[in-house]
């Protein structure tokens, strides 16, 4: 996982590739400083079997923080 402060910079990273999946966290999980909570719709996108989930196993994830 990598961290950026701007979505544009994150999208340009070689780590995410040409067609990144962009999801927005609703908040941090209670009592956590690192676990994010997604909407149900975004969670479904993340685990969609039709998409290539290889990016998760390869660690091709970027978190944008503000």
Give 1-66 as a DSSP string: -EEES-HHHHHHSTTT-SS-----EEEEPTT-SS-EEE-HHHHHHHT-TTS-THHHHTT--EEE--
**Contact partners, residue 55, CB within 8 Å, separation at least 6:** 16, 17, 21, 61
Specify the pLDDT at position 23: 86
Per residue in 11-66, pLDDT tens?
888 888 888 888 889 999 999 988 999 999 988 888 877 776 777 778 888 888 87
Specify the pLDDT at position 56: 78
Whole-structure pTM value: 0.71
């Amino acid at each position: 996982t990598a961290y950026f402060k701007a979505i544009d910079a994150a999208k340009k990273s070689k780590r995410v590739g040409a067609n990144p999946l962009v999801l927005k966290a609703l908040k941090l999980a209670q009592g956590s400083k690192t676990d994010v909570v997604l909407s149900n719709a975004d969670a479904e996108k993340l685990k969609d079997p039709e998409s290539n989930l290889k990016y998760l196993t390869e660690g091709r994830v970027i978190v944008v923080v503000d």
